[in-house]
């Protein structure tokens, strides 16, 4: 009798503990950049199943970023991510491959991020398993880079470069500031210095592009003699996040309505930040020797090396051809595992749409010597991390410095 009573008490306590555990493990994403829809949770196995939130007409629903609460330290956590069947715009459902990286990014402080072991996956879902190192952890598609990161980064760079200028490029349609920085040589009576424009995150989900921008900024503001020389000869403008609204709201941005940011570069842009960038670039082209425009992106999950989208070389003038070939040779010597040849955006079928891509608009509206490119930094690889992206940014800086070390034309 006593044994049965003890057993009953034990079972009751166990049941209460399970209920308590079930109440404790939870998923939240109600913070800047957060995105998750909870499909299920199981406290006993410390597992959750989520999908990226689909927000109609706000772009590809491939970005996910959420917080896990109530974890048991030292025990395995299982996170299943699957695709939603809900269209993100009329008649379009995103392929799951875009939202299922080989490894998720995890953090115990929302600052330092590392990869999980490789997921177990199929064509619809991926299961990421890792050990809980804290009661609360963050999980994301990749290391987040939010407007708050951009502001902190630009303040830090400004403090290290007293002659730099922080400015708001524009206010978005959602009335958010698009922060940017300008530094380096100034135009004066002695002549026109080179000018460089670097921007990231026209597609909000491509978080790695902002980390590349951070790597470039940290290097170019450093005491490296090559960085100092570059600052002395060129005016440099950097925008770490262009599509601030979608980044802040945790939406993908690409193929958004009414326009994709990187198809908005025409005479009547929808987005104030695109219009402001166009005006600033035209001004630099008039007051400086405008030499370089670099638009930072991340490519498809099957691309495992960084590469540049460029123009069709057989359509260039002699000066342009020489400059693009020279840039390519220098970049290949500086950027690890860079594809040796330019890619061309063959998936864009009409000339009208091609002309609305940022790099093409810049090439069509600036001086003949300008090199205007998109750098696609691969994300679905071990180097798709805070450190790996920033290394590419530094290597981009070294490429620019070498390119400008002698006249490009």
Question: Of 110, 140, 170, which marks where a domain is finished?
Answer: 140
Question: Of 91, 111, 140, which marks where a domain is finished?
Answer: 140
Using pLDDT thresholds of 50, 70 and 90, give the confidence band for residue 89.
very high
| Same domain, yes or no: 170 and 129 | no
Residues 177-221 pLDDT 10s:
999 999 999 876 467 899 999 999 999 999 999 999 999 999 999
- The number of folded domains in the chain is 2
Residues 117-173 pLDDT 10s:
999 999 999 999 999 999 999 999 999 999 999 999 999 999 999 999 999 999 999
Is residue 11 in a domain?
Answer: no
| Same domain, yes or no: 203 and 94 | no
**Residue 23 pLDDT > 70, yes or no?**
no
Question: Of 140, 168, 183, which marks where a domain is finished?
Answer: 140
| Same domain, yes or no: 169 and 131 | no
| Same domain, yes or no: 173 and 282 | yes
Using pLDDT thresholds of 50, 70 and 90, give the confidence band for residue 265.
very high
CATH code assigned at 41: 2.60.40.3120
Given the DSSP bridges, would you call strands 371-376 and 289-297 parallel, antiparallel or unpaired?
parallel
The average pLDDT across 98-106 equals 98
| 3 state SS of 229 | helix
**Residue 72 pLDDT > 90, yes or no?**
yes
Using pLDDT thresholds of 50, 70 and 90, give the confidence band for residue 407.
low
| Same domain, yes or no: 62 and 164 | no
Q: How far apart are CA 212 and CA 389, in angstroms?
A: 5
| Same domain, yes or no: 152 and 84 | no
Please report, for residues 26, 192, 262, the alpha-carbon distance to residue 20 in angstroms, rounded to integers and kept in the order given.
12, 69, 49
Note the pLDDT of residue 190.
64
CATH code assigned at 297: 3.40.630.10
Residues 296-350 pLDDT 10s:
999 999 999 999 999 999 999 999 999 999 999 999 999 999 999 999 987 888 9
- Structural domain containing residue 233: 147-403
| Same domain, yes or no: 62 and 110 | yes
Residue 11: CB partners within 8 Å, gap ≥ 6? none
| Same domain, yes or no: 136 and 151 | no
pLDDT > 70 in the chain, percent: 93
| Same domain, yes or no: 131 and 151 | no
Are residues 308 and 342 in contact, defined by beta-carbon separation less than 8 angstroms?
yes
CA trace torsion 185, 330, 384, 205 (10° rounding): 60
């Amino acid at each position: 009798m006593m044994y049965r009573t003890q057993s009953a008490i034990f079972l009751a306590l166990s049941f209460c503990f399970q209920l308590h555990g079930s109440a404790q493990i939870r998923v939240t994403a109600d913070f800047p950049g957060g995105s998750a829809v909870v499909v299920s949770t199981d406290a006993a196995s410390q597992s959750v199943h989520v999908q990226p939130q689909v927000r109609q007409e706000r772009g590809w629903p491939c970005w996910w970023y959420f917080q896990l609460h109530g974890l048991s330290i030292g025990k395995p956590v299982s996170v299943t991510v699957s695709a939603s069947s809900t269209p993100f715009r009329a008649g379009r459902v995103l392929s799951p491959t875009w939202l299922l990286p080989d490894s998720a990014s995890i953090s115990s402080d929302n600052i330092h991020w590392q990869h999980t072991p490789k997921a177990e996956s199929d064509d619809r879902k991926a299961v990421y398993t890792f050990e809980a190192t804290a009661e609360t952890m963050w999980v994301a598609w990749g290391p987040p880079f939010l407007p708050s990161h951009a502001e902190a980064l630009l303040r830090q760079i400004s403090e290290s470069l007293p002659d730099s200028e922080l400015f708001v490029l524009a206010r978005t349609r959602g009335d958010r500031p698009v922060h940017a920085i300008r530094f380096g040589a100034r135009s004066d009576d002695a002549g026109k210095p080179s000018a460089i424009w670097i921007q990231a995150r026209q597609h909000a989900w491509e978080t790695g592009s902002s980390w590349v921008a951070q790597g470039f900024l940290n290097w170019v503001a450093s005491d490296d003699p090559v960085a100092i020389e570059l600052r002395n000869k060129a005016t440099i403008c950097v925008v770490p996040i262009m599509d601030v609204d979608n980044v802040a709201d945790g939406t993908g941005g690409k193929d958004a309505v009414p326009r994709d940011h990187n198809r908005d570069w025409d005479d009547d842009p929808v987005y104030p930040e695109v219009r402001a960038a166009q005006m600033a670039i035209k001004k630099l082209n008039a007051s400086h020797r405008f030499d370089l425009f670099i638009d930072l992106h991340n490519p498809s999950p099957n691309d495992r090396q960084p590469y540049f989208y460029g123009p069709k070389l057989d359509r260039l003038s002699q000066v342009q051809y020489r400059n693009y070939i020279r840039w390519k040779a220098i970049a290949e010597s500086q950027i690890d595992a860079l594809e040796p040849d330019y890619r061309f955006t063959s998936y864009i079928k009409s000339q009208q749409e091609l002309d609305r891509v940022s790099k093409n608009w810049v090439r069509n509206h600036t001086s003949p010597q300008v090199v205007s490119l998109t750098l696609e930094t691969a994300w679905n690889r071990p180097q798709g991390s805070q450190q790996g992206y920033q290394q590419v940014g530094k290597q981009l800086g070294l490429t620019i410095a070498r390119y400008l070390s002698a006249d490009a034309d």
